[in-house]
Amino acid sequence: MDKKRNLPLLRSLELFSRFTDKRLEDLSAYLEPLSFEGGAEIFSEGSIGDGLYFVASGRVRVTKRLAAGGVKDIASLGTGDCFGEMALLDAAPRSAGAWAVGKTELVRLRRDDLKNWLAADAASAMDFFSALVSVQSERLRRTSSELALLHDLSSLLVEPATIPASLLSRSIERVLPHLEGTWSAAACVFNPYNNEMDPAGSCGPETFGPEVGSLPSPSSPALSWESDNRTLAIVLRSPAKLLATLRLRSSVPLNENRRAESARTMAAVAQLLTSALENMDFRADEVLRRRLQMRTGAQGL
């Protein structure tokens, strides 16, 4: 592998930001290039870790198996990100799985090779493990923030709500403070009586149109970024019908990694909101059904 070609990649990583070019050139000799097609498994949850991976191009989704079945995306990684770093400490089973999203190029650094590189300079070992703790702390902070968001939103969704517009308005007010940076949001709810989107509320420092009236196309993706790279459009649908739309806008354009991470977090929010709106629809239909039964019974007397 060309040592010079990999210097920019290594230099961009916090793990290696404290090292000289000479030390990074020496490390490049140990790097192993890997290529994966979209959907390919990089490593499985529970497999024995063998080293650290760097994303040279493409994207990687990190997943965790759920006790009830299925998997949950816990991270979305892009160029310059690293993952699997806990395998550098010991050969414990992987706590999550990793999958390629589209054509993905990776670079792998095996645990034994890293030890050989660090053995040449004790000071390098101190700097490296200090940086490793910093990276782990940042990931823990992000995970804690997401858990706090979902807990806060879940607490709201179990409270009684009479109309979808009220639920959506209160939900976006609850979500925005948990997002990294400054965000604004606007929500619309589907009105089946006029087949249009009605405004359900907005919040945040920036005022922008919630796309009132017009319906999203049936083929519109559940989550998509608008061309300004700072506005995330979310369409909430049940299997039977359209429920609502949300638009969240960052105060500044976001890079690819920030967009992917924000979309992953909001996908979990969208799932909670969709379930809450479906339950509200079911309860409303049940009330109407009972009223109709009572009216029909009274007329038969």
At 174-185, the pLDDT tens digits run: 999 999 899 999
The mean pLDDT value of the chain amounts to: 84
Cα→Cα distances 115→24, 88, 93, 122, Å? 14, 9, 19, 11
* pLDDT score at 94: 87
Summarize the confidence of residues 190-200 as an average pLDDT. 88
Residues 28-87: tens digit of each pLDDT: 888 889 999 999 999 999 998 888 898 988 999 999 898 877 888 888 888 888 888 877
Please name the residue that has the structure tokens 């770093």. 85
Q: pLDDT-derived band of residue 1, with 50, 70 and 90 as boundaries?
A: very low
Average of pLDDT values for 252-261?
A: 89
101 compared with 21, residue with greater pLDDT: 101
d(CA 231, CA 233): 6
For the chain, list the domains and their CATH numbers.
3-147 (2.60.120.10), 159-300 (3.30.450.40)
Q: Quick: pLDDT tens for 120-156.
A: 887 777 888 887 788 778 777 877 888 888 889 988 8
Q: Which residue has the higher pLDDT, 285 or 70?
A: 70
Decide if pLDDT at 207 tops 70: yes
Three-state SS letters, 180-246? CCCEEEEEEEEECCCCEEEEEEEECCCCCCCCCECCCCCCCCCEEECCCCCEEEEEEECCCCEEEEE
Q: How high is the pLDDT of residue 209?
A: 63
pTM, full prediction: 0.71
Distance of alpha carbon 227 from alpha carbon 241, whole angstroms: 27
The C-alpha angle 88, 93, 98, rounded to 5 degrees, equals 80
Query: Does position 255 have pLDDT exceeding 60, yes or no?
Result: yes
**pLDDT score of 12 more than 80:** no
Burial of 13 (0-12, 13-18, 19+ CB in 10 A): middle
Name the CA dihedral angle for 239, 245, 250, 256, rounded to a multiple of 10 degrees: 30
Task: For residues 62 and 60, give the distance between their C-alpha atoms in angstroms, rounded to a whole number.
Answer: 6
User: Contact 31/6 with Cβ under 8 angstroms?
Assistant: yes
pLDDT at position 251 is 94
Averaged pLDDT, 283-292:
64
pLDDT tens, residue by residue, 209-237: 656 557 888 888 899 999 999 999 999 99
Residue 101 has pLDDT above 70, yes or no: yes
Mean pLDDT of 268-285: 83
What is the widest separation between alpha-carbon atoms in the chain? 95
